[in-house]
């Protein structure tokens, strides 16, 4: 048997056939099924142990301990969560009570309640504003117009407005309509401005009697302008003395009433009261010495009193000033020549 085995080994070596030693004829092969079964059982046991260990680790990782990790959110996290709550909820309902039963922990609910309220109210606030502002803008206009309608016009304001209307009528030549409007106004008040407009127009139009009807003595006592118109109307009716007395009854200050003083000084000269006239001319010149006609009036009054030197000086002063009318300038030259010759 050994020789056969040797021959077989030699043939096997020549053919390069690797064969297990147990394949040789005559050699008893030992059984190999016990070892793999043992290894398989060991591997299965190890897998079971690994699976049990993994399950135990998994169960431990999913234990209630992560509740500590789900701690109270920080203020920044709460603010970041708020837009999601606002989008999910309807603006008509309370957002906090409807959202809190979600995945949020019960401990965080009371802290989230006060914060969403102001943010939910802010987007709702602009919506009702247009409806409120529209009636508010319309109301002040009605109140303002009503206020203007109920404000009564003072007598002075009414007199000014009527005087402007009367001036337009006079400029158009409608003096009759102007008198009719003045008559309606004077039933309730004195109306000095309106009276002045109509009386002056009538006096210029050569109707002194009608002018006197609008400037009676009782009305002119308190108004220098109306008193001046009355004196001119009286003078136009050849009532020189009455005109002078009217002006003398109450002489206003020179400032603001220069025309009143000029008329009074002129009428005093015509009445022969040259001393009083010279005094009035002097008052006017003291107030304003640039008016050439006033110097002429003073010169005439002084010459009438026999004061030749003073009269000549006043004439020269008038000739040197501008604004002297041609007729009056010729009169001044003649009087200066006469005074030099005398």
Name the phi and psi angles at 68, rounded to 5. -70, -35
Can you give the pLDDT at residue 34?
52
CA dist 8 and 327 (Å) reads 179
For residue 315 the two structure tokens come to 């004439």
- Stated pTM of the model: 0.57
Is the CA virtual torsion 54, 59, 65, 69 positive or negative? positive
% pLDDT > 70, the chain: 61
pLDDT digits (tens, 9 = 90+) for 185-223: 999 999 999 999 999 999 999 999 999 999 999 999 999
Is the CA virtual torsion 245, 247, 249, 254 positive or negative? negative
Question: Which helix or strand (DSSP H or E) is residue 300 part of?
Answer: helix 292-304
CA geometry: angle 331, 335, 336, nearest 5 deg:
120
- Burial (0-12, 13-18, 19+ Cβ within 10 Å), 298: buried
3-state secondary structure of 307: coil
> What are the chain's domains?
153-250 (1.25.40.10), 254-342 (1.25.40.10)
Can you give the pLDDT at residue 119?
43
Place of tokens 């050699």: 27
Do 155 and 143 touch, CB atoms closer than 8 A? Answer: no
CA geometry: angle 257, 259, 263, nearest 5 deg:
125
What angle separates helix 292-304 from helix 258-270, to the nearest 10 degrees?
Answer: 30
Q: What is the pLDDT along the chain (342 residues), one digit of tens a residue?
A: 443 455 556 555 655 544 444 433 334 444 445 566 777 777 777 777 877 777 667 666 554 444 444 455 454 444 444 444 343 444 444 444 444 444 444 444 444 444 444 443 443 444 444 444 444 444 444 445 455 555 678 999 999 999 999 999 999 999 999 999 999 999 999 999 999 999 999 999 999 999 999 999 999 999 999 999 999 999 999 999 999 999 999 999 999 999 999 999 999 999 999 999 999 999 999 999 999 999 999 999 999 999 999 999 999 999 999 989 999 999 999 999 999 886
For residue 222 the two structure tokens come to 């308190």
């Amino acid at each position: 048997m050994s020789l056969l085995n040797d021959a077989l080994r030699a043939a096997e070596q020549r053919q390069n056939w690797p064969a297990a030693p147990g394949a040789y004829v005559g050699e008893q092969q030992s059984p190999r099924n016990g070892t793999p079964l043992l290894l398989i059982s060991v591997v299965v046991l190890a897998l079971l142990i690994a699976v049990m260990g993994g399950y135990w680790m998994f169960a431990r990782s999913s234990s209630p301990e992560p509740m500590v990790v789900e701690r109270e959110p920080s203020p920044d996290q709460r603010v970041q969560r708020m837009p999601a709550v606002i989008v999910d909820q309807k603006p008509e309902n309370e957002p906090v009570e409807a959202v809190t039963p979600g995945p949020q922990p019960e401990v965080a609910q009371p802290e989230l309640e006060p914060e969403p309220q102001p943010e939910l109210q802010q987007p709702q606030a602009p919506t009702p504003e247009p409806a409120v502002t529209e009636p508010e803008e319309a109301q002040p206009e009605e109140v303002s117009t009503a206020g203007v309608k109920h404000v009564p016009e003072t007598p002075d304001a009414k007199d000014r407005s009527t005087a402007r209307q009367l001036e337009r009528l006079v400029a158009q030549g409608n003096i009759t309509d102007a008198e009719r409007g003045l008559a309606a106004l004077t039933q309730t008040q004195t109306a000095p401005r309106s009276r002045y407009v109509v009386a002056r127009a009538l006096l210029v139009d050569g109707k002194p009697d009608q002018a006197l009807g609008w400037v009676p003595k009782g009305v002119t006592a308190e108004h220098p302008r109306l008193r001046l118109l009355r004196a001119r109307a009286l003078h136009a009716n050849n009532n020189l003395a009455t005109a002078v007395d009217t002006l003398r009854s109450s002489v206003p200050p020179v400032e603001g009433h220069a025309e009143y003083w000029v008329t009074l000084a002129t009428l005093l000269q015509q009445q022969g009261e040259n001393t009083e006239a010279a005094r009035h001319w002097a008052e006017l010149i003291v107030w304003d010495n640039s008016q050439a006609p006033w110097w002429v009036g003073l010169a005439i009054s002084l010459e009438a009193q026999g004061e030749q030197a003073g009269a000549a000086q006043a004439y020269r002063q008038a000739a040197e000033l501008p604004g002297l009318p041609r007729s009056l300038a010729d009169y001044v030259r003649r009087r200066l020549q006469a005074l030099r010759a005398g």
